[in-house]
Amino acid sequence: MGIISPSKYHSFYFHVKKLLRWMFFATVPLLLFRFYFYPHPILHSHPVHISSSVSPSTIEKEDANEPPCDYTNGRWVHDTNGPLYNGTTCGTIKEGQNCIRHGRPDLGFLYWRWRPEQCKLPRFEPNTFLQLLRNKHLAFVGDSMARNQLESLLCLLATASVPKLVHRDGENNKFRRWYFESYNTSISIYWSPFLVKGVEKSKSGPDHNELYLDHLDEKWAADMDGFQVIVLSIGHWFLHPAVYYEDGHVIGCHYCPGLNHTEIGFYDVLRKAFKTTLNTVIERVKTKRNGIDVILATFSPSHFEGEWDKFGACPKTEPYGKGEKSLEGMDAEMRQIGIEAMEAAKLNSYLHELRLEALDISKLSLMRPDGHPGPYMHPNPFANGITERVQNDCVHWCLPGPVDTWNQILLEVMKRWEYESRQEEN
List the catalytic residues: 144, 393, 396
- Distance (Å, rounded) from C-alpha 39 to C-alpha 32? 10
Strand 164-169 and strand 74-78: pairing? unpaired
- Distance (Å, rounded) from C-alpha 105 to C-alpha 98? 13
The one-character DSSP state at 142 is E
- Distance (Å, rounded) from C-alpha 207 to C-alpha 221? 26
Residue 323 and residue 260 in contact, taking contact as beta carbons nearer than 8 Å: no
Residue 397 and residue 350 in contact, taking contact as beta carbons nearer than 8 Å: no
Residue 414 and residue 131 in contact, taking contact as beta carbons nearer than 8 Å: no
Contacts for 59 with CB less than 8 Å, ≥ 6 apart = 50, 415, 418, 419
Phi and psi (nearest 5°) for 359? Answer: -95, 95
Bridge partner list, 112: 78
- Distance (Å, rounded) from C-alpha 244 to C-alpha 197? 11
In the chain, what are the helix, strand and coil shares in percent, each to the nearest 5?
40, 20, 45
The one-character DSSP state at 263 is B
Query: What is the SS3 assignment for 303-349?
Result: CCECCHHHCCECCCCCCCCCCCCCCCHHHHHHHHHHHHHHHHHHHHC
- Distance (Å, rounded) from C-alpha 129 to C-alpha 133? 6
- Distance (Å, rounded) from C-alpha 322 to C-alpha 386? 33
Q: What sections of 133-224 are H helices per DSSP?
A: 144-158, 218-221
H/E segment holding residue 209: strand 209-216
- Cβ atoms < 10 Å from Cβ of 243: 18
Contacts for 87 with CB less than 8 Å, ≥ 6 apart = 93, 98, 99, 100, 101, 155, 398, 399, 400
